[in-house]
Amino acid sequence: MSEASKKNRTLTGAEIVWECLIREDVEVVFGYPGGANLPIYDALFKYKDKVHHVLTRHEQNAAHAADGYARASGKVGVAMATSGPGATNLITGVATAMMDSIPMVCITGQVGRESLGSDAFQETDILGAMIPLTKHSYQVNDITLLANTIKDAFYIARTGRPGPVLIDIPKDVQNESMVFEYPETNNVLPGYNPVIRATEEELNDIAKLVNEAKNPVILAGHGVLLSGASPELIALAEKADIPVAVTLLGIGGIPASHPRCIGFMGMHGGYWVNHAIQEADLLIACGMRFDDRVTGKLETYSPNSKKIHIDIDPTELNKNVIVDVGIRGDLKAVLTAALPKIKRTKHDDWTAQIKEWMKISNTKDILNRKSDKLYGAFVVRDLWEATKGNALVVTDVGQHQMTVAQYYYQDHQNSLLTSGGLGTMGYGVPAAIGASFAGRRKPIWAVVGDGGIQMTITELATAVQENANINIALINNGYLGMVRQWQEMFYDNRYSETPISSPDYMKLADAYGLKGYRVDKREDIISTALEAQAHDGPTLIEFVVEPMEMVYPMVATGSALNEMVQRPITEEQFSDMEI
Amino acid sequence: MQKAEHTIVAFVEDEPGVLNRIVSLLRRRNFNIKSIVAGATERPGLTRMTIVTDESNQHRRVNMARNIQKLVNAYTVEDVTDVPAVIREYMLAKVSVTNGDRTALDLLTREYGAKLIDSEEGAVIIEATGYDMEIESFLEKLKEYDIVELMRTGKMAMRRGSHLELKEKLELMSTDQEWTTKQIQSAIS
């Protein structure tokens, strides 16, 4: 390198951060400036034409937005914050991403190296705090390691089982200079070597169990989407005629309209789906982790089935449910290799049995209720119709989230964004803003509750500042509905602190500069949704719904998966119901 | 019956905070650490740890090793609970003595292959190494004296025999196996 070009390539740590991000194909960053990352934000002026920065109104929401962007785009999301409170504010968003295996890189500023450990102003041991919440974490105390660290961080975030990675950079490292060259290869330890292929023996084990099964069920989780294994999963389901049940994060891994897809499993899953799982003689768990919300009481879980579990993360095998065949590998690679060994077959009796269970359940479905009242389920069902099932749906956490899982029949991959593992209220609005930068040509609908939206309502300002094309469907029932539901069922109707008031959302929308609508009749849902969707810029529709409605069916904690509480039918509610 | 103790050896990067990561992980996953010993090895940059827990469930034992292996700073992990291995512990004890006790104490120390390494007015320091039962039974005898300070290191483990797989594993581990879509495609085809 000549002296002149060396001089040209002499960059500060702050500039190196942006150079590295650009080389990692980062187009948008969500963040918040502060004292300890001032150099990074100052250097941003040089890179404005290459990277768009979105100023969220709270660092937690920067993390949620990066998460939403990552889920919608399949790329690594990037969030930035300053030291101390900025960094600690990221934590909820990082923990959310960790639980749901979302690739993300968080860059925090830190006090200068000479002040580390002195309780300096806005100093927090964010590395120590983040160790249990991230896939990996770094503090860069030497500028010569900065570019390598960023390269490694992106590699770790997106490979194997994806997850968030923290990079903490002291302010004086951001200010130092060096000749910049982006490393060509990553430097990650040799022990970090995600295994992707199954052995021949393992493939034969899969084939033997699948070919012998009479009542098999595939359990499709988030791994199907993360691994891009939808075509292989569908091929398996079609070839061996196996019904597919999906987890919350697995929704979209097989189209809901696919004849082999039986729907959503678990605590609020389909009665017929849970029955199928309980009665199965073979479960083929694909990229899922047997969370307590999908197993019910472990001791009674699918008692008579053999179990195959395929997951990229070996620590998930035999963690909650002990399986007969546990295979560490990339789902797409494993299924592709297994498919030729699977015999083409039919399971007509089994399919007919599941249909029988479905009929029992349909009689209790709220969608079959003839009512003038407005229920959350009607809103979701009609939004599905209005959007022709083509929306990218983001949810918050609670009753509406389960209602979306039940009634927004998702046919598309990576089109339901929801905090599944951590159940983070407040996720919906910021994640939808993040998703709006993913370049998907789909209308974005954030379905949220009146509790969740008030946790991160500050982001309405961000949505307006960015003119993000998001539509917020606020299901307002005046309660923290899911908690109230538990109080009604398990705490003798003692509604401790679950009634919640709201601001006047129309005035609020007006104040923030969103287009606002209020709907309290079912017949207005579709027309209003279409009007909102046609509007250029963010909109908010408040749906004023029945306050005491519950999500059914439900598996109570400690119950077996098939011991579901069904929706009670009263004469009045179903008087003129046609079944 | 499972042994009450579960012993693994972890080979990890010699980096600040790695011990923190391992301890934090074991706490988070609800494993109870009985002892942990970390130190330098034949290779620069490689730290070797012997971790002893009281985990008795075989699935959880496997899970624990896999969890440590999953740490980005880990090279490899070996479970030495059920394989031939040398497992040793080091102990220092300060015993308060009058002149009359010294001869008997000296004899006891020799009997157990321990060493009197410091002798001052009123107190001696004894060092001992051995497998846990040896240390335990020596300590039992030593209790007849006035032990004023006692320190045990926790266990160190090393597999018996040449065990060349480990050497190969550590040498052969290469960094160039990028897990990319392209590579999955080539793995599939």
Pairing verdict, β A244-246 and A164-170: unpaired
Residues A29 and A170 in one domain: yes
Residues A355 and A412 in one domain: no
What is the residue-wise DSSP string for A113-131?
A: GGGTTTT-TT---HHHHHG
Tokens of A566: 């069904």
- How far B186 CA sits from the closest chain A CA (Å)? 10
Q: What is the CATH number of the domain that holds A470?
A: 3.40.50.970
Is the residue at A488 inside a domain? yes
Which of A186, A318, A333 is the closest to B59 by Cβ?
A: A318
Using DSSP, state whether A554 is helix, strand or coil.
strand
Is the residue at A572 inside a domain? no
What is the residue-wise DSSP string for A6-41?
A: HHHTEEEHHHHHHHHHHHTT--EEEE---GGGHHHH
Query: B34-49: per-residue pLDDT in tens?
Result: 999 999 998 888 999 9
CA count, 13 A, side-chain hemisphere, A289: 16
Is the residue at A575 inside a domain? no
Chain B CB within 8 Å of residue A155 CB: yes
Provide, rounded to the nearest whole percent, the portion of chain A with pLDDT above 70.
97
Query: A77-129: per-residue pLDDT in tens?
Result: 999 999 999 999 999 999 999 999 999 999 999 999 999 999 999 999 999 99
- Thinking of the domain B6-82, which architecture would CATH place it in? 2-Layer Sandwich (3.30)
Spatial separation of the C-alpha atoms in residues A394 and A383, rounded to whole Å? 13
Query: A147-160: per-residue pLDDT in tens?
Result: 999 999 999 999 99
- How far A334 CA sits from the closest chain B CA (Å)? 8
What's the distance, Cα to Cα, between the start and end of chain B in Å? 46
User: For residue B174, what is the nearest residue in chain A, using CA coordinates?
Assistant: A190
Chain A residues with beta carbon closer than 8 angstroms to that of B173: 190-191, 193
Chain B residues with beta carbon closer than 8 angstroms to that of A332: 184, 188
Contact A318 B63 (CB under 8 A): yes
Residue from A24, A13, A26 nearest A53 by CA? A26
pLDDT of the residue at B184: 43
Q: What is the CATH number of the domain that holds A254?
A: 3.40.50.1220
Residue of B18, B24, B46, B188 for testing the chain A interface, max A β-carbons within 10 Å: B188
Query: A207-223: per-residue pLDDT in tens?
Result: 999 999 999 999 999 99
Residues A519 and A384 in one domain: yes
The DSSP secondary-structure symbol of A103 reads: -
pLDDT band at B101; cut points 50, 70, 90: confident
- How far A439 CA sits from the closest chain B CA (Å)? 21
Spatial separation of the C-alpha atoms in residues A12 and B110, rounded to whole Å? 65
Chain A residues with beta carbon closer than 8 angstroms to that of B181: 228
Higher pLDDT residue, A189 or A564? A564
pTM across the whole model: 0.94
Chain B residues with beta carbon closer than 8 angstroms to that of A159: 178-180
- How far A75 CA sits from the closest chain B CA (Å)? 13
- Catalytic residue numbers of A, as ranges: 59, 121-122, 171, 482
Residues A437 and A540 in one domain: yes
Which of A127, A315, A336 is the closest to B63 by Cβ?
A: A315
Preceding omega of A553 cis (within 30 degrees of 0): yes
* pLDDT of B148 strictly over 80: yes
User: For residue B21, what is the nearest residue in chain A, using CA coordinates?
Assistant: A131
pLDDT of the residue at A334: 96
Residue of A125, A188, A318 for testing the chain B interface, max B β-carbons within 10 Å: A318
Spatial separation of the C-alpha atoms in residues A255 and A224, rounded to whole Å? 12
Residues A415 and A525 in one domain: yes
Chain A residues with beta carbon closer than 8 angstroms to that of B177: 193
Boundaries of domain holding A97: 3-179
- ipTM score here? 0.90
Residue of B12, B70, B78 for testing the chain A interface, max A β-carbons within 10 Å: B70
Is the residue at A194 inside a domain? no
pLDDT of the residue at B182: 42
Domain count within chain A: 3
Every domain of chain B with CATH number 3.30.70.1150 lies at: 86-157
Residues A386 and A334 in one domain: no
Residues A14 and A111 in one domain: yes
Contact B175 A314 (CB under 8 A): no
- Amino acid of residue A132: P
Which of A136, A191, A319 is the closest to B173 by Cβ?
A: A191
CATH number 3.40.640.10 given to B86-157:
no
Q: How far is CA A542 from the centre of its chain?
A: 24
pLDDT of the residue at B121: 86
Chain B residues with beta carbon closer than 8 angstroms to that of A132: 24-25, 28
Residues A166 and A263 in one domain: no
Asked if residues A542 and A506 have their Cβ atoms less than 8 Å apart, the reply is yes
Every domain of chain B with CATH number 3.30.70.260 lies at: 6-82
Contact B24 A132 (CB under 8 A): yes
pLDDT band at A11; cut points 50, 70, 90: very high
Residues A411 and A541 in one domain: yes
Higher pLDDT residue, B119 or A383? A383
Contact B66 A314 (CB under 8 A): yes
Residues A33 and A68 in one domain: yes
Chain B residues with beta carbon closer than 8 angstroms to that of A322: 59
Spatial separation of the C-alpha atoms in residues A183 and A266, rounded to whole Å? 46
Classify A290 in phi/psi space as left (phi over 0), alpha (psi -120 to 50) or beta.
Answer: left
Provide, rounded to the nearest whole percent, the portion of chain A with pLDDT above 90.
91
Contact A188 B72 (CB under 8 A): yes
Q: Of the candidates A304, A331, A359, which is a domain's last residue?
A: A359
Angle at A101 between CA A98 and CA A103, to 5 degrees: 90
Residues A389 and A500 in one domain: yes
Chain B CB within 8 Å of residue A558 CB: no
Q: Of the candidates A359, A390, A415, which is a domain's last residue?
A: A359
- How far B34 CA sits from the closest chain A CA (Å)? 21
Contact A185 B176 (CB under 8 A): yes
Chain A residues with beta carbon closer than 8 angstroms to that of B69: 191, 314
User: For residue A313, what is the nearest residue in chain B, using CA coordinates?
Assistant: B70
Spatial separation of the C-alpha atoms in residues A472 and A449, rounded to whole Å? 10
Chain B CB within 8 Å of residue A191 CB: yes
Which of B13, B25, B62 is the closest to A318 by Cβ?
A: B62
Query: A316-368: per-residue pLDDT in tens?
Result: 999 999 999 999 999 999 999 999 999 999 999 999 999 999 998 888 888 88
Which of B13, B17, B179 is the closest to A196 by Cβ?
A: B179
Chain B CB within 8 Å of residue A195 CB: no
pLDDT of the residue at B173: 56
Residues A348 and A450 in one domain: no
Is the residue at A193 inside a domain? no
Is the residue at A557 inside a domain? no
